[in-house]
């Protein structure tokens, strides 16, 4: 009974992660193609993510209360609760991206948004891989997610530096540049949350805390 419920919970986590991935795609593609329909879909998906977050949390708490699981089952349920919270936060962050995109699509672009699509794709892959790593208990994949976080961080810094030069050259771009920087910051935060899940997955598999110790998975 408990094992069947845990399997069902894992399926719900996959569905929730897929929703978040589609929200990342739609928010950024809506920006690039200036398509308000894609941005609308992000807000629609947020409601689904919020409902799933509540359902998963209630199921986990009920299972812990009824079955008083121990060892691996307990760790798995606690991990699902943490992933559930992180995925819901990711959903909120994609809504922030959609709100900035909604502002930007009504105005001329500031040059080409080269780093934003790359950041979005890297971030989306991190969400996908961190869930796969948890479900398959793949420590190496989890470590790769942690390493890929550096790629997103660097893209965020590059974007910020470029935006500063645009704002200096043309003060009329300032508000648009701020919204682009907000999009990059929200993508970076989604990547950070993916890294949190990956780090917790490594802890569950190996019993080692690697938070704030990059060198442990770089070597």
Assign 110 a pLDDT band (cuts: 50, 70, 90).
confident
> What are the pLDDT digits (tens) for 8-47?
999 999 999 999 999 999 999 999 999 999 999 999 999 9
Q: Which of 190, 188, 182 is nearest to 163 (CA)?
A: 182
Backbone conformation region of residue 199, classed left if phi is above 0, alpha if psi is from -120 to 50, else beta? alpha
Contact 52, 16 (CB under 8 A): yes
Q: Which of 93, 81, 63, 47 is nearest to 2 (CA)?
A: 63
**Token duo for residue 130:** 């961190």
Q: Whole-model pTM above 0.75? A: yes
Q: Residues with Cβ < 8 Å from 156, sequence gap 6 or more?
A: 115, 119, 184, 185, 187, 188
The residue ranges of every structural domain in the chain are 2-218
- Predicted pLDDT at 202: 87
**Token duo for residue 199:** 């780090």
Which fold is adopted by the domain 2-218? Methane Monooxygenase Hydroxylase; Chain G, domain 1 (1.20.58)
Contact 87, 46 (CB under 8 A): no
Q: How far apart are the C-alpha atoms of 181 and 156, rounded to whole Å?
A: 8
């Amino acid at each position: 009974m408990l094992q069947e419920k845990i399997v069902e919970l894992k399926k719900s986590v996959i569905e929730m992660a897929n929703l978040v991935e589609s929200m990342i795609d739609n928010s950024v593609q809506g920006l690039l193609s200036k398509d308000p329909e894609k941005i609308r879909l992000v807000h629609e998906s947020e409601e689904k993510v919020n409902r799933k977050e509540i359902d998963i949390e209630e199921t986990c708490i009920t299972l812990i209360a009824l079955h008083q699981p121990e060892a691996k089952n307990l760790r798995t349920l606690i991990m699902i609760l943490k992933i559930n919270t992180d995925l819901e936060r990711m959903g909120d962050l994609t809504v922030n991206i959609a709100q900035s995109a909604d502002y930007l699509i009504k105005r001329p672009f500031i040059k080409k948004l080269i780093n934003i699509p790359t950041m979005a794709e890297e971030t989306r892959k991190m969400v996908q891989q961190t869930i796969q790593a948890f479900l398959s208990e793949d420590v190496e994949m989890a470590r790769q997610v942690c390493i890929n976080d550096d790629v997103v961080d660097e893209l965020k810094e590059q974007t910020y530096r470029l935006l500063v030069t645009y704002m200096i050259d043309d003060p009329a771009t300032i508000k648009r540049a701020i919204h682009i920087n907000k999009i990059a910051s929200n993508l970076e935060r989604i990547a950070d949350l993916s890294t949190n899940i990956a780090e917790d997955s490594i802890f569950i598999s190996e019993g080692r805390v690697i938070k704030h110790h990059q060198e442990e998975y770089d070597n």
